[in-house]
């Protein structure tokens, strides 16, 4: 397996972690998991030789997934230790070293962005939660914070019945 398959890409304005590499952009091209038609609640998704029913989780579960991911990233940024963030991830994300994650999120860490206030806010999703043909759940949105808005894109893979973080992008944008 090519070692670059699991490279972490750090962009100037956005921090993006996906199990693939791209030249530029925010969650586009090969940065995001393969784009296939999405599924909605109660849909059946083809995974390999078997067909499994995978439904978009409830709003409460989606909120937990987003908050847990942001909390893990925030703690990793404060401590400089990205092993827990990595270990909470999918098997693909776990192939990324903690050092690579630290490099990927260095910009956000150096900006001193404290993500903890968003843990009490409800995120606004900018896309309908969807499950891709490969079973990945994609969530994109932002937290309505001022003066910096916290934007995110997350993907999750089902692993033994648990949604595990598969890809993570977090950036900030000035809000007037």
Question: In this predicted model, what pLDDT tens digit does every residue of 8-26 receive, in sequence order?
Answer: 222 222 333 433 322 222 2
Q: Pick left, alpha or beta for residue 64 (phi over 0 → left; psi -120 to 50 → alpha; otherwise beta).
A: alpha
Would you tell me how many other CB atoms lie within 10 Å of the CB of residue 127?
A: 11
8 Å CB contact between 166 and 153: no
Tokens found for residue 50:
């078997």
| Mean pLDDT per 10-residue section of the chain, whose length is 176 residues | 29 33 27 35 40 79 96 96 96 95 92 92 96 94 93 96 95 90
Name 102's Cβ contacts closer than 8 Å, sequence gap at least 6.
76, 80, 82, 109
Distances (CA, A) of 102 to 21, 77, 141: 17, 8, 23
The pTM of the full predicted model, rounded to 2 decimals, is 0.71
For residue 34, what pLDDT is reported? 31
For residue 176, what pLDDT is reported? 81
For residue 67, what pLDDT is reported? 96
Tokens found for residue 122:
């409800």
């Amino acid at each position: 397996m090519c070692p670059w398959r699991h490279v972490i890409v750090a962009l100037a304005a956005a921090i993006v972690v996906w199990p693939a590499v791209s030249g530029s952009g925010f969650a586009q091209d090969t940065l995001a998991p393969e784009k296939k038609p999405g599924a909605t609640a109660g849909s059946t998704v083809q995974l390999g030789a078997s067909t499994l029913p995978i439904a978009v989780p409830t709003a409460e579960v989606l909120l937990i997934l987003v908050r847990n991911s942001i909390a893990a990233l925030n703690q990793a940024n404060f401590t400089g230790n990205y092993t827990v963030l990595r270990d909470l991830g999918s098997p693909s994300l776990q192939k990324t070293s903690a050092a690579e994650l630290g490099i990927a999120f260095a910009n956000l860490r150096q900006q001193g962005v404290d993500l903890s206030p968003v843990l009490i806010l409800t995120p606004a999703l900018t896309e309908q939660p969807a499950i891709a043909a490969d079973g990945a759940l994609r969530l994109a949105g932002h937290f309505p914070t001022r003066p910096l808005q916290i934007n995110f894109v997350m993907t999750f893979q089902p692993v033994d019945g648990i949604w595990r973080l598969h890809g993570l992008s977090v950036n900030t944008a000035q809000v007037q």
